[in-house]
Amino acid sequence: MDPVIFDCAASLGRVAVSGLATFVGVVAILRLSGARTLAKLNQFDFVITIALGSIFASTVLSTSVTIAEGLAATIVLVGLQWSITKLSVLSPRFRQIVTTAPELLFYQGAFQERTMQRARVTRDELRSATRDSSIGSMADVAAMVLESDGTISIIPHTKVGDGEVVPPREQE
């Protein structure tokens, strides 16, 4: 019968040492890679985060993955993430490929229905985001924008300025 709860002290020791070493290594790699690695997540960052979690778990729990292999895989993924973000800063075309452009969901009292349908955002979600921003009325909102990280930015009439940061409206 396979041991379900406890196998032996050596395997527990291996998991403890592997977990500690992998944790320290991953934290060091992420620290070296800069704040962008841990910023709000776009789709690409989300995939990298899931993959890093999988590598971490495999390194800690699997006897077939060494600490060195786990850290090497972490370096590869963080390096890939760094390279892609660097390229997206240097190349607007590349940035369009790897990130989602902000989308205008509400503008000057009008819900942008086609954009909302495409983004799968409901009026109730926009009202909820408005309440979360401590705004009591949609009449006080100049624009609502779905950002590339999935958050909804709200620009009240009192802060709209010249509107330079508001994405273009959908065409009717």
Q: Residue 45's closest CA among 99, 119, 89?
A: 99
Q: Give the pLDDT band of residue 139 (cuts 50, 70, 90).
A: very high
CA 19 – CA 13 distance, rounded (Å): 10
CATH topology classification for 103-159: CRO Repressor (3.30.240)
What sign does the dihedral 87-89-90-92 (CA atoms) show? positive
pLDDT for 90-123, tens place per residue? 999 998 887 778 899 999 999 999 999 998 999 9
CA 77 – CA 55 distance, rounded (Å): 10
> Domain residues of the chain, as ranges?
9-97, 103-159
Task: Tell me the three state secondary structure of residue 3.
Answer: coil
Q: Please give the residue that has the higher pLDDT: either 149 or 137.
A: 137
